[in-house]
Structures are given as C-alpha cells and as structure tokens.
Amino acid sequence: MKPAALIGVLILAACNNPPFGVIDPAQIVGDTIPIALTQDQADAARGEIVFSDRNQGHCVLCHAVADLDVPFQGNIGPDLSLVGRRLTPAQLRLRIVDYQIIVPGALMPSYFRNHDLYQVQNDFLGETILSAQQVEDLVAYLSALEGDADENG
C-alpha cells in the first residue's frame, strides 16, 4: 500500500472512533443524553448504593439527600433531595457522564469519561469511574428523588 493510501485509511479509521471518548457527541442533545447508556433495566436501589458507596460514585462526599441513612453527607455540591423535580433523567445522565460539558472547570468528576483526565493511576488509564449500568442505576435513583407531594421545591 502506498504511504498516501495508508494515511487515508488511518484517517478514516480514526473518524470511526469519536475523539470525545466513551460518549459520541451525537448522543448529546442540548443539555441531555436522551438515550440510556445500556439496554439493561436501571435499578434505583442499586443507584442509591452507587450514590453513597465510597468504592463507587461516592456522591455523598459532595452532595446531601434528605432521609438518606449515610453519615457525613457533603455540602460542596447542591442538595439533591428534590433533584428529580428539577432535572429529567436525560439531563441527569449528561451531568453524571461528564458535567464538564455543562460547566467547564467544575469540580464534579466526569463519571463516564475516559479522556483528558489527570493524575490517573496506570491501572485505570482508559477506564471510566462508573460503568454504563452504574450510571443508569444512579439516574434511576436521582430521578426518584422528588420528595413528598406536599413539599415545596
């Protein structure tokens, strides 16, 4: 194969791998990712564990949720007790996947991004913090946080 042809093949091959990483930019619509990342059923109970477990999302490090039985909830990020009233599942999905798209430079980690990361241990290079299923479970949990019908929010 001629060098020019080889370069052309490499360029075309590179076009099939989105430079964005795990999520193709075509999956993002406005401030949402409308399509679930997995075909498997999301589970809010598993999502609560992802939210609170130190070895998973550990979202309670920065966020609080009323009535969540976890000590030492954070106050750096917003309280998420009523987030299901404010944001759709599609909006939550994008914020979990890569909040940097919405607020560049934000402190919140990008849980489903594997590029442009810093201080990543070699064993985790190219990996995401959460799996697609964990993201969907977390979306299910957060979407259900709507409070009682008589609460303001």
pLDDT at residue 54 is higher than 80: yes
Alpha helix stretches (DSSP H) within the chain: 3-15, 44-52, 83-86, 89-98, 132-143
> Tell me: the pLDDT tens digits for 69-101?
998 999 999 999 999 999 999 999 999 999 999
In a domain, 27, yes or no: yes
Average pLDDT, the chain: 82
pLDDT at residue 145 is higher than 80: yes
Containing domain of residue 36, as a range? 21-143
What pLDDT is recorded for position 13?
36
In a domain, 35, yes or no: yes
In a domain, 86, yes or no: yes
In a domain, 15, yes or no: no
- Total domain count for the chain? 1
The neighbour count for residue 27, using CB atoms within 10 Å, is 17
Confidence band, pLDDT 50/70/90 cuts, at residue 151:
low
In a domain, 128, yes or no: yes
What pLDDT is recorded for position 24?
84
In a domain, 45, yes or no: yes
pTM of the shown model: 0.79
Q: Give the CATH number, domain containing residue 133.
A: 1.10.760.10
In a domain, 11, yes or no: no
pLDDT at residue 139 is higher than 90: yes
Which DSSP letter does residue 60 get?
G
* 134 or 5, higher pLDDT: 134
- How far from chain centre, in Å, is Cα 134? 9
In a domain, 16, yes or no: no
Both structure tokens of 103: 């607020």
